[in-house]
Each structure stands twice: as C-alpha cells, then as structure tokens.
A and B are shown apart, each in its own frame.
Chain A
Amino acid sequence: MTRALMLSTAAIALLTGAADARTIHILMESVPDTRFVQEVVPEFTAQTGIEVDIEVVNYAEMHTKLVPQLVAPAGSYDVIVVDFYWVGEFTKAGWLQPLDERIAASGFDTSVYFPAMMDLVGRVDGVVYMLPFYNYAMALTYRKDLLEDPAEQAAFAAKYGTPLRVPQGWDEYLKQVEFFTRKPDLHGVVNQGLRPDPIAMEWSNYLFARGGEYYDPATWEPKLTSPEAVAALEDYKRNVQEFGPLGAASFGFDEAFNVAAQGKAYSYITYNFFRTAYDDPSQSAVVGKMELAPVPVAGLNGGWGWAIPRSSPDPDAAWQFIAWIESPEIAKRRAALGGSPTRADVFADPDLNAKYPYYPALQALLEGSKNFPVFTYTPQFVEVLGRELSLAVTGEKEPAAALAAANEEFRALLRQDGKLP
C-alpha cells in the first residue's frame, strides 16, 4: 500500500517534471509557411524535449502584439518573426539580439542565403540580427491557359502587332491587361488596393517596373515625384478602375486572391507563396491554369526573418530552435510542403525542382527583386504611402499631387531618422 503510494507520487513528480520542461513561445503570422513550420515542430520537440508554442495571429495584429512585449524587460516571446519593414525600427530600438556569436559558436552556414534576402531580413549595418525565414517577393501570376490559347494569341497579335507571351516588358503586360478585360466574367488584373500595406506593397512593383525608385541609393533623396513614379501610379489607378473588378480599391490580398482563384482575373501581382495555393482545389477554381513569372523589369522583394528579441526569456532554446528550423534538412522539408525558400541550396535541390517546375522563375524573381526602403520609420512610411496611393486610386487626389505629398512626408521621416540632413 505504502509502496503503491510512493510509486504513484514518483510518477506524478515525473509527469509534472515533464510538464515543467522548457517551452518556447513564438508569435507568427497566419500564412502558409507558418503552417508548414507547425507541421515539422513536433520533431524538434522529440529531439530536444523543448516544447514549441506557436501563437498564430493575423498580420494586422502582429505589430501591436509585438511592440509591448519587445519594450518590456522580460517579454513573453522567445522567438519572433520579423517582417522586413519592421527591421529598421526593431534594430534601431535595440529590440533584437545580435546573432553573430551564436552563429559562429554553432558553425551555422549563412552563406547559403541569397544576398538579397540576407540584406533584407538578415544583416543590418554588418550585424546579423535575423536568419531569413521565407521570402514573399512579389511575382506576376497569370492565366497560363489563356496566354497559351492559340485563338487568343492570334487575336492579340492582330490587335497589338506583338506576340502574346509571358510579358518581357511592362508595356507588354499592360497591353495584356487591357486585352483580357472582358467584364464581367474576366478582368485583366485584380489589385489589392487596401490601405496601408497591401496597396503600398503592390504599387512598389509598378514603380520598379516603370523604372522608378523610392530614393537615390547614394543620398537617400526621395524620388517619388519622378515621372516614372507618376506614370506608375497612373498605371495602377487605370488597372484598378478600368481593368479590375469592382471593389479592388478595398481588397486585401486574400480578397484579391479569391478573385484570381475563381478565374475572374487574368493576372494578379502578388506574393509568390500564393503559387501553391492556386493548385489547391479546396481554394481554387483554376488548378493547373495559373503560373508565376517575375514582374517585368523588377518586382518587390519581401521576406521574414527569425529573430531572438532582447526580452526573450530563453534565448538559448530560441537559438536552438532557429538553428534547427533553418538547418538544410528542415528547410528542404518545409519547401517540399510548399514553403517559400530563401536559400540557394534549396533552390538547387533536384527533388524540389522536379516537384516545382517554377523554381527557376522563382529564383530569378528573388535575384531580380528590389527592396522597399528599410529604415527606422518604414511602418510610418508604408502608412503614408498607402494613404496617398489610396487617395489617388479613388480619384480624390491627382496622382502627381498624392506622390508629392508622400514624397514630402517620406523626406520628413528620413530626416527624423538621420538619413537626410
């Protein structure tokens, strides 16, 4: 009897001991790559005994949820994921721990990451704060079946005198948008015009495609009043208002994706991770009909990085997790599930290339993409830009006037950040 009691007490002690095991907490956005991470973490727990608790929230909530935890001396997140446009703010505020020593100590190889990704969500002023998690460089997704339809090709050639093919130039793409606009069943394009980040991110592609720039890389002098920028905004406005479906000016990326996935749009410039979703019959009516190509000229780069906040309660376990999730084997596993890679070795993997024939296009995309201005006040700038773009798209401001306003506020923010005198 006594022995049974002692045994069960010991068992309880063991059990509670197990429950006391280390747990790391991570805040992540509800995107496909987060799902893939969730699928593989049980293995991490099995290997290390460290429990992983992933809190998944909407993008819109992330910044609000993170900031108080980052400001606090001891926060509740051991690991965080950082969107590229928070990088300036987070590092300036000193909220992230430098990773160089840990990388050196554990012999982690960072050379496999694309340099563009490393610049975007890895290294800041020579210090590594993050490891690139996944990329969301924007791509042109289009209806391959329509593009390859001989009848369409003939009609297009007759009308424009140029062949219908994967667009090589921006004008060529704009012609295709016009050509495939057959309301109400088909629209040449669907846009994500919601303030602030959907519209700002999407329009960036138009700016780069028109050959414009946000600022002079040498001087940080804003260049949003350039003729290229104005032309890019006029293109964008025309696409939304003339060639796009009703309501595109208020669409977030999920709503815009739905329109494209229902086969109601010829094209949609969006985050590359939607490519796999097009082939998922549960959310798409265009399985096998959509393909991905780089945005003509250049598109917008984007990505998330793994980081350990200063306020992390258990930075050692946090690093253990990051190193594991970014190990070659797990990175490939995640890519196989449909994740968006950031590493050259993953892109070179023969199995993955066999599974995803669009990998070369994706790699070209990553290499050719341009970055959004990254500085301390990037979120504010996105806010300002989103507002002014939205005003222009809805016709409440002339594109030139909207861009002039955005340019001035951009300049003020750069001054505030010390980038400009």
Chain B
Amino acid sequence: MAAGLARRDRRFGLLMAGPGLAAMLLVVLFPLVFTAWTSLYEFTLLRPVHDLFVGLGNFAAALDDGGFRHALRVTLAFVVAVVLLEFLLGLVVALALDSVERGRAVYYAILLCPLLMNPVVVGLIWRMFLHPTQGIVNYVIGLAGIAPVNWLGDPAVAFWTLVAVDIWHQVSFMVVLLLAGLAALPPEPYEAARMEGAGPIRAFFWITLPLLRPVITVTLLIRLIFAVRTYDLVYIMTRGGPGNATDLVSYFIYRQAFVTLNLGRAAAMSLVLLAIVLLLTAWLHRYMRSLRA
C-alpha cells in the first residue's frame, strides 16, 4: 500500500518534471550535439549541408592553426589577469563596503551602473575616453604632467587596456557576490577572535577568507567562464589588434564562423575551448576544495 503510494508519487513527480526536463535537454543538449556533429563535417555557410565527413580533420586543423593557438594563449593571459585582478579589487571593495553603515544603497547603485551596461556600449565609451588625442583619459593624465599613452595602438599597452576596461565593467560582479558572502558571515567568530587577540589582518586571513571560500570559489568560477567568453569588448575596442595582441579566442572563433563562414572548423574550435574551460573549472574546483583540508 505504502509502496504503491510511493510509486504513484514518483510517477506523478516524473510527470510533473517531465516537460521541464525535456525542454532543458532540448535547449541545452541540442546545440551541443549539433555543434559536435557539425565539427565532424566540412560545413560552411556557403554550403550548409552535412555531406562531407572529415572525421577529426577540423580538430587537427584547429590545433594546427597558429592563430588559434595564439588566441588561446592570449585568452589564458587575459582570463588569469582579469579574474585575479577583479577578485582582489572586488574583495577590497567588498570589505570596505561591508563596514559601511550608512548610504550603502548609494554605493551599490553606483557600483552596479557599469555592470548593467551593455558591453558594446562599454567598449564604445571607453574607445572614446581612450582616444589618444581627443580622449578624456589622456587629457586628465596630461594635467598631471604625464605624457599621453597610446592605450589601444601599442600592442604592449592594448592588452592591459582591455584588461582594465573589463575590470571597470565587471568588478562590481565580484563586489556584489563577495559582499553578499560577507554579509552572511556570522559575527560571533569575529568577536571570539577579537577576545583572543586577533587583529583585523589575522581575522581576515584566519576567519574571513576560509569562511568565504565557497562564495569565492563560485564567484571565481562564474567569472572565469564569462571571461573566457569575452568577445564584445575586443570586437568594439581592438578587433584583436594592434597586431594580434588582443585576439581573444571567442572573437577568433566568431570570425571563423561568420567571416570565414567555416562552421565546421568553428564548431571544432568551440569544442576545444569548451574542453579547456571544463578542465579549468574542474581544476579550480578541486584546488579550492584542497585548500580546505
């Protein structure tokens, strides 16, 4: 009787969850399967048919492509720089904001502004600000007697300019998440630590950081995945240049698909990127877990 009831319950549950599950499978799995399938064919937008099976040829060509490998390297550097710097800056800002008692909503609003902006708009605005002769940035540093900087025209500078603009745009994401994490921390361990004689620095390293670890892990992971996908900023600000100093892999794959029209190749590259992101994610997750022990 009870078993029958449980079975009926289970069947009913499946019935209720079924449509949602099916929709999710369709939405998530279909593009993935299509991409994997396409990656095995010579499939171009000029001839969009799956009739020329090339096996792993697209993958071999992708890995053999110096431009793609270069884009992967640039992306790795970009992701590491952006995630680390945004995390450090975000943590500092979050810690500062956490101790603010009055007017926190105002700070929130100001911080959230960049985050709410479309990356295309961010790129356009900063391209304007960073114009070497007409831009406000060089004008302001000029007032301080600093020589104008070739923000986007010098390969060595352009990469860091891009990193800086991305930080400006995305750091609030870190701030907001870390702030939520900080707000959820219990106050008592801090009082206990204070009674034991721990100063703010030790309290931070011995209590805040370890307690915040789950939030930090999630924040880093999300940011990392989004940073790998950075595309709009490069597209608007540098087109991967000057030279190929800022040729991020998402933009590279985009060109493979929509300029070269070679969707098979682009699909293979996307899958390579997906594999790398998955590996990175798994590694980061593990690393953060190992820190706990």
Contacts and interface: CB of A to CB of B under 8 A. Distances in A.
A43 to B, nearest CB: 34
Contacts of B219: none
A64 B239 contact: no
Interface in B114-155: 127, 131-134, 138, 148-155
A247 B148 CA distance: 10
Nearest to B244: A387
Contacts of A247: 131-133, 150-153
Interface string A366-395: 000000000011011001001100110110
B259 interface: yes
Contact of A259 (B45, B133, B241): B133
Given A89-B46, A247-B153, A255-B127, A60 B133 contact: no
A394 B45 contact: no
Interface in B215-240: 235-236, 238-240
A182 interface: no
B94 interface: no
A250 B241 contact: yes
A60 to B, nearest CB: 7
Interface of B: prevailing SS: loop
Contacts of B240: 195, 387
Contacts of A195: 238-242
B148 A390 contact: no
A67 B132 contact: no
A249 interface: yes
Contacts of A394: 153-155, 241-243, 245
B158 interface: yes
Given A247-B133, A250-B152, A383-B259, A71 B239 contact: no
A258 interface: yes
A67 B133 contact: no
B258 interface: yes
A366 B131 CA distance: 32
A249 B153 contact: yes
Contacts of A222: none
A183 B132 CA distance: 13
Contacts of A64: 258
B137 to A, nearest CB: 11
Interface string B56-73: 000000000001000000
Contacts of A48: none
A154 to B, nearest CB: 29
B157 to A, nearest CB: 10
A248 B47 CA distance: 39
Q: Which of A89, A195, A250, A379 has the most CB of B within 10 A?
A: A250
B48 interface: yes
A71 B45 CA distance: 7
Contact of B154 (A60, A249, A397): A249
Nearest to B262: A380
B158 A380 contact: no
A262 B134 contact: yes
A394 B239 CA distance: 14
Interface string A251-263: 1000100110010
A20 to B, nearest CB: 33
B242 A250 contact: yes
Nearest to B258: A64
Contacts of B155: 394, 396
Interface string B155-176: 1001000000000000000000
B46 A246 contact: no
A63 interface: yes
Contact of A250 (B45, B238, B255): B238
Contacts of B244: 387, 390-391
Given A255-B131, A258-B131, A246 B45 contact: no
A238 interface: no
B254 to A, nearest CB: 8
Q: Which of B48, B132, B154 has the most CB of A within 10 A?
A: B132
Nearest to A244: B153
Interface string B251-279: 00001001111000000000000000000
A339 interface: no
A193 B46 CA distance: 30
Contacts of A264: 133
A405 B258 CA distance: 22
B134 A259 contact: yes
Contacts of B259: 63, 379-380, 383
Contact of A196 (B48, B67, B149, B239): B239
Contacts of B158: 250
B46 A383 contact: no
B133 A246 contact: yes
Contacts of A377: 260
Q: Which of A71, A89, A245 has the most CB of B within 10 A?
A: A245
B46 A93 contact: yes
B1 to A, nearest CB: 58
A55 B238 CA distance: 25
Contact of A396 (B132, B149, B243, B258): B243
Interface in A152-186: 184
A415 interface: no
A92 interface: yes
A71 B243 CA distance: 32
Contacts of B243: 387, 390-391, 393-394, 396-397
Contacts of A194: 238-239, 241
A92 B158 CA distance: 37
Contacts of B149: 246
Contact of A248 (B153, B235, B236, B255): B153
B134 A258 contact: yes
Interface in A87-138: 89, 92-93
A196 B251 CA distance: 13
Contacts of A387: 67, 240-241, 243-244
A-B residue pairs, 5 tightest by C-beta: A247-B132, A250-B152, A246-B132, A249-B153, A195-B241
6 contacts: A67-B258, A196-B239, A246-B132, A246-B138, A247-B150, A264-B133
Given A195-B238, A248-B153, A394-B241, 20 more contacts: A60-B235, A67-B258, A93-B45, A193-B153, A193-B241, A194-B241, A246-B133, A246-B150, A247-B131, A249-B153, A250-B150, A255-B134, A262-B134, A264-B133, A383-B260, A386-B241, A390-B244, A391-B244, A394-B153, A396-B245
